[in-house]
Structure 1
């Protein structure tokens, strides 16, 4: 090999070595520039969970607040002090079995509880902190609200139809309240239809946390349409109410029935043959069958004028609503109101029973108009106050897009 070739070979080796070193340097610099992930401390209501031993559990039947803290090494005098201090905000005697709680305990050898967190429901919590001084605070998890749609054709009941679509039974209950003055929910027909826009609450946008208000609804009962739109007609009072597509208030002065869910077992009938008596005897009431203990509601505002036990009527309550209307509720298991009390529409006045002359649990609902007993189901009952004319245009503009959305929901 000539000297020239040897010199060229050495030059190539030096060049390749230099390039390799540069590549290694660039690779190292590139690696150094990659940000390493920063560990984020887990937190709960502002507490750094890395600083505690975290115990999650449920309150067992018969388990008391003191038992829980004693199990986590808090002495009895301290437990008594805590319970006394927080009682105005959280009465520890009323903690319910099955509710979740969290203990934040010391991470040392004592593992002594320092914070007690009680979960009332998915949203509401009470935090009892007794690390140094004792204090309690109530917190709520942040929730988001989304508008959901549901629609269906009734084959058996509204509750069943909604359940088949995996909609909370709360929606059925709220719909029965909204339409309590306009639709007899005890006499829904097969093939009646419904549509509803309602609020669904979520925690972290994913965890369902209950139902909000019904935004709007549509019911087609025996071929007749019934719209309901949630609206604040009086901004001074700020009370929400439900109105139809023509600005009429859905409320009436009287509810259709004194029970939320039931069925009519016997209607007002002056020629009814009563099995108990074995002869024809006028029945001047409407019987609503329901299990013993079902709450009985006052169908309108008024003053209790009778609350007593008497013969075949059993336990009963009688309410004067005004100079025109009076109602009576018979066969109660127990009465809740006394003579002279003022009750509001929907207030519980007693519970379904079998007192007096009756062959089964029900409430006999009697209705007087101008001192004469009449059939309440055939009365044209007075409506609530109409919407003020000056806000009707605003209301109609407000409901237009909502009505379009309702109309376009497929069954």
Structure 2
């Protein structure tokens, strides 16, 4: 009985469907099908019926020559240049920059749009599709993807991160976070790290850069250092697990890349004078021209030249306790004058060998309450800790981040790669299912 009912229902459906088919002409069916197709957009332009050509700016090109090569008259080219000046500065066109033309697919192609790629993200659009010329900016969508990496150092943090298939610029981000807790020039074989981070993508598919550290644990010489990002006073700062800021009042060193050639000493053999005398500073060897940063905010109180000693030098007063001096500079940074207020990390000069020096280096000195101290042993208090009224929120954030780090650390590298690939595939499917704008 059930079989007979099923056959009858099936025959009824076939009859209804065939009748429906007969009531729609082929032209109507094609129109219905095309209406369901999604338009394709590039740089915000519907390209369904356009042809795209890519060009590269050559040495000597300028807006006039580019427009002329596209068959645009000199008068119209002048109008385009004036209209687009607010989105496309002609003085900033550089050799190697790409630009694109969008033309119709007719037998006589008509130029509808010109797109100049100012960067991987930002574009200048010149719209010639109507009688009036229009020019506007377009920026590609930037998306963030959270990822995880862990590793044990065998040579350097940079090489270890690169060996994990991650942008090695993550190493610089980690160094910035832990700059006061860890001397990265003293990182040892066997030190390890875990890090959650956001990577920025263009159009959800093209990796752009490491955007931020979303949580990290660095184990240095057997001691764990944790970094918890938390928003306080509308600024993202990094705190340890007790809520103290990882940021100190001073940087650990005034250079990014260096080699210590002479340490603080009350009796050091001077390489030029050939005798022993006190050296109340630290010598950092680095190539001439290496940027030198102020280790903290302060006011420049001295800027001078000492022929028989420090050569070009600067002295910065940071507060009532600390003063720092930077010696043997090849030159000072622009706009550095006595009385100027400088920020922490601001470039104040460049490594050189002026004065009494055998080679390019920075002689860095610190005074505490007017007396010289060893810069390598200098301790500075942390910045403001998490405020009492935000303590509960911080503890919840910390718990969540540390749990995520611990969970990811127990997943194999292969599994993590599969998870990341799955997440990427999901994003692509979502993108394909939506109209691209």
TM-score range, shorter chain: 0.7 to 0.9
d(CA) in 1 for partners of 2:128, 2:364: 56
Tell me the residue number matched to 2:10: none
Tell me the residue number matched to 2:355: 356
d(CA) in 1 for partners of 2:402, 2:59: 49
d(CA) in 2 for partners of 1:160, 1:389: 40
CA contact (8 A) 2:44 2:138 kept: no
Displacement of 1:299 after TM fit? 0.6
- Deviation sequence 1:298-321 (CA, Å, 0-9, x none): 110101112233223222221111
- The 1:399/1:332 distance shift into structure 2, 3 A limit, reads same
- The 1:268/1:129 distance shift into structure 2, 3 A limit, reads farther
Greater C-alpha Rg: 1
CA contact (8 A) 1:103 1:115 kept: yes
Tell me the residue number matched to 1:5: none
Tell me the residue number matched to 1:74: 72
Question: Relative to structure 2, which stretch is displaced further, 265-274 or 188-197?
Answer: 265-274
Number of corresponding residues: 386
CA contact (8 A) 1:73 1:112 kept: no
- Deviation sequence 1:166-204 (CA, Å, 0-9, x none): 221321111121112222122222221111111012234
CA contact (8 A) 2:198 2:214 kept: yes
Asked if 1:268 is matched to 2:264, the reply is: yes
d(CA) in 2 for partners of 1:249, 1:349: 26
Asked if 1:299 is matched to 2:295, the reply is: yes
* Aligned-residue CA RMSD (Å): 2.9
- The 1:394/1:33 distance shift into structure 2, 3 A limit, reads farther
d(CA) in 2 for partners of 1:264, 1:85: 56
d(CA) in 2 for partners of 1:110, 1:320: 71
5 Å-filtered alignment, 1:396-407, equals: 396-407=395-406
- Deviation sequence 1:78-135 (CA, Å, 0-9, x none): 4344334433443121123333321224667876754322223333222233554343
**Aligned to 1:396, what secondary structure does the other structure show?**
helix
Question: Relative to structure 2, which stretch is displaced further, 105-114 or 353-362?
Answer: 105-114
Tell me the residue number matched to 1:191: 190
User: Which of the numbers 91, 114, 122 marks the counterpart of 1:124?
Assistant: 122
- The 1:87/1:361 distance shift into structure 2, 3 A limit, reads farther
- The 1:77/1:283 distance shift into structure 2, 3 A limit, reads farther
Asked if 1:282 is matched to 2:278, the reply is: yes
CA contact (8 A) 1:73 1:110 kept: no
**Aligned to 1:177, what secondary structure does the other structure show?**
helix
d(CA) in 2 for partners of 1:265, 1:59: 47
Asked if 1:213 is matched to 2:247, the reply is: no
Mind listing any 5+ residue stretches in structure 1 that lack a counterpart? 1-21
TM (normalized to structure 2)? 0.80
Asked if 1:244 is matched to 2:245, the reply is: no
d(CA) in 1 for partners of 2:84, 2:25: 53
